[in-house]
Amino acid sequence: MEELRSRYRGALLGLAIGDALGTTLEFQRPGTFEPITDMVGGGPFGLEPGQWTDDTSMALCLAASLVANGGFDARDQMDRYLRWWHEGYMSSTGECFDIGRTVSAALRIYEHTGDPFSGPTDKRTAGNGSLMRLAPIPLFYCRDPERAIHDAAESSRTTHGAREAVDACRYLAGLIVGALQGRSKEELLAAGYSPLPGLWERQPLAPAIASIADGSFQEREPPAIRGGGYVVHSLE
């Protein structure tokens, strides 16, 4: 049990620490900067060392919603995202200083229609926002991989409905569940890994996500691996 708690802490703290560390270099292209080895802040938002960005803020909103409701509640999630946007809820600075275009578009639609599944479905909106905040879903449903993967997709659809964004969340949720269950790195990175054997044959991933799941990233290095806001590049 203590080992599992440690993995949970690692997932959430690792998310926030990686976010705060990476904000220094946010929006810079791979190969154009020297590696950083310490928490220095700065970056495009002028943050203090240790302050996180929108990715961790939205993950905290999602985690708080899961705990408060005892499970998945899309409307409550969107209400919390609105509080973050308008009031700075879960922000490291007390205000929302950055929000992705796809997220803001979805939140405006939700405010107008009341539909919590307001994520645009156009393939050109397949940004990485829903992927970056995902971790609380597989953490909450660690013992139910099928529910974790299903609700990872639903979580994406609130703000990012494009198939590649949804399927990136499904695949990563499976990886996180596997890691929490103690699977080795070799098992997790094996071609087509899922905590539910045969899942991707029964419920195929979008081609670009399936290619990553099959190990395309293991044969590529920057600049072929590009990073950036497109969810396929971020996942790879």
Instruction: Give the residue from 53, 102, 58, 100 showing the smallest Cα distance to 80.
Output: 58
| Highest CATH level, class, for 2-34+50-235 | mainly alpha
Given pLDDT bands bounded at 50, 70 and 90, which one contains residue 223?
low
- The secondary structure of 159-170 as a DSSP string is T--SHHHHHHHH
Given pLDDT bands bounded at 50, 70 and 90, which one contains residue 27?
confident
Given pLDDT bands bounded at 50, 70 and 90, which one contains residue 217?
confident
Instruction: Give the residue from 204, 211, 144, 198 showing the smallest Cα distance to 173.
Output: 144
pLDDT in tens, 36-75: 889 999 999 999 999 999 999 999 999 999 999 999 999 9
In this prediction the pTM is: 0.95
Angle at 200 between CA 194 and CA 144, to 5 degrees: 45
Arithmetic mean of pLDDT over the chain: 95
SS3 43: helix
pLDDT of residue 222: 66
pLDDT in tens, 107-128: 999 999 999 999 999 999 999 9
Domain chopping of the chain, boundaries: 2-34+50-235
pLDDT in tens, 167-178: 999 999 999 999
Report how far residue 150's alpha carbon sits from residue 64's, in angstroms, rounded to the nearest whole number.
19
